[in-house]
Amino acid sequence: METTVLAYGKLNLSLDVLQKQPTGYHDLKMVMETVELHDRLDITVGEGQGIRATSNLPYLPADGRNIAVKAASVFFRELGLSEHQVSIRLHKQIPVGAGMAGGSANAAAVLRGLDALMGTNLPLEQLRELGGRLGSDVPYCIAGGTVLAQGRGDVMTPLPPLPPCHIVIAKPKFSISTASLFARIDCGKIRHRPDTEGILNALETGQLDQVALRMYNVFEDVLDNRGKDIAQIKSVLLDCGALGASMTGTGPAVFGLFDEETPAKTAWERLKETYPETFLTKNRGVSI
């Protein structure tokens, strides 16, 4: 049995950190959006045992360190199914370590793919519950769309879709440790916060420009000197006509929203000269 599943990238239209819980986790408030930029997973299930992954990126692990492999293991174990031989062929396009939930999207795609192949037909909430055992972004990536995510990102409220737009995404030539940014942030000293309520109102009225004007990511306030690249990318995007620009997740990828394709292409061409991992895409605006 074989199926092909697409794993779509995620952007944070806003990201706010509200408080730190005694457990050490932080309460978040985020507006999330799915983009057309995606990875492709070819999943084969056969007789026998063993779960392995291969990828077009040779440095990605093929064993249980790969979240796609972990997702397959969780699926069979938690549903009480006998383990099968599973082969996952992964073609990566979403940049690794960019704040776009690429790994989480892959895990979610494996859960969806195995659910279809094994005929389990799990309800959305059960798939999300399984995803929550793998990572905070996996439940969102099960269905995607335009969503208000709260708590650890696992309390989700569907929102009116973001109006169709062109999106340019650029990732600097480094990654940022998620743990280090959470360690640096002090919820009582955050200077700038996104206008989340304004974004929700703009989504209700379908005003792309008003959404873009209110985007912000509080982690931009706690970047080290590598934040210069973040600022540079945002500057190019805005100079080329982006309605707004922001870092996604814990970065370092930065994106800009455009209402027309021509200025988006101009920004893409300018940025890819310095940042090879630059992409021109669109939002999906609907659930997967």
Q: Which residues are catalytic?
A: 10, 137
Alpha helix locations (H) across the chain? 67-78, 102-117, 124-132, 138-143, 178-184, 196-205, 208-213, 227-239, 261-272
Kindly give the pairing relationship between strand 166-171 and strand 277-282.
antiparallel
% helix, strand, coil for the chain, step of 5:
35, 30, 35
> CA 5, CA 53: separation in Å to the nearest integer?
14
> CA 72, CA 29: separation in Å to the nearest integer?
29
> CA 232, CA 235: separation in Å to the nearest integer?
5
> CA 72, CA 89: separation in Å to the nearest integer?
13
Are 241 and 263 in contact, with CB atoms under 8 Å apart?
Answer: yes
Specify the residue for token string 């549903």: 79
Query: What are the distances in angstroms from CA 179 to CA 33, 50, 87, 251?
Result: 23, 32, 31, 12
Query: DSSP letter at 132?
Result: H
Three-state DSSP state, 251 = coil
